[in-house]
Amino acid sequence: MAYDEDSRSQLFDFLLSKGMFKKWDKGRTVEKIIRDLPEISNTGMKENQTYDLDNTSNSRKNTVKNTMEIFAIPHTVSTTKDILAEDETYVELMEKFRVMKEKFDVKLFNGTEKTTEPRAMGSIVSFVPAANKITVKVAELEAMPFGKRELWLEENVWSKVRGSVNCGFGQQHAITQLKTLVSPNVNIDLGATDRYLGNASIALPIGTIVPVRDQNAPANTLIVGNYNYMELYYIQEPSLVPVPAPIRGKAFSVEMEASCLLRKPDNFVVITFDYTAA
């Protein structure tokens, strides 16, 4: 059976608040899950400005923010001053990178270990070179000779480990996943080199998928994302921050600051639900 008005509203609120698209419960259909959104200025939104989608309910006040959410996870590694210990520091550091990425993969959207800080759209790095991907940086460190690696840790007095989470229905594999969720029988082939939708749109029986941009997000749409399709990037070089040393050794704090944009061009899509599933 179709959702009633209250159920549709609750589902819409859930999708917006979680920032993800969930598969519908078996046996249910989707019937015009639509709510009017305010007009979006061509100049974009200002920092920390939000869309209030429910003025009547303080208990369910959902927003779509044109900001970034900042998640910081600090870790500390220690070492003595000899070369062997420096290598141990490197091993610890690489493990911390992996732990941090795992934490983002698992805990980013469940409300734990999370602090939020709004950032303006102008501060966003839209496209990070492939060479700055965390997987590339880790591989570079792992490939370094023992002595060079130790010097690299010593000479690069880093300031902070910083990463940007690139969320993406706009990416090919995410579009494919979205297709399987809403319409398994529709074939979408963006081609091996088409990483983003760009200005294209994809028509599905359930509606039309288009990239979200400040100037073109229409009314009567649902803006969704999927936390299963994110990749961690560096915005700047990784960092070790010296902290007060323990007895007979050095100490470094390793911190990652990652950001998730709730509405990012090319990476999120708008879906307009315009029919009742059969």
pLDDT tens-digit profile, the chain (278 residues): 233 344 434 443 443 333 333 333 333 332 222 222 233 332 333 322 333 333 322 222 222 222 223 333 344 444 444 444 445 555 555 565 555 545 444 333 333 333 333 232 222 223 334 444 444 555 565 566 655 544 444 333 222 222 222 222 333 333 444 444 334 333 444 333 333 333 344 444 334 444 433 333 333 333 333 322 222 222 223 344 555 555 555 554 444 333 333 333 333 333 333 222 22
User: Tell me, what amino acid is at 54?
Assistant: D
DSSP labels, 5-16? HHHHHHHHHHHH
CA distance 118 to 235: 17
Per-residue tokens: 178 = 């979205």
As separate numbers, helices (DSSP H) first and strands (DSSP E) second, the chain gives 5, 11
Q: How far is CA 270 from CA 34, 49, 118, 209, 262, in A?
A: 11, 20, 22, 6, 12
Q: Who's near 50: CB < 8 A, 6+ residues apart?
A: 63, 64, 65, 66
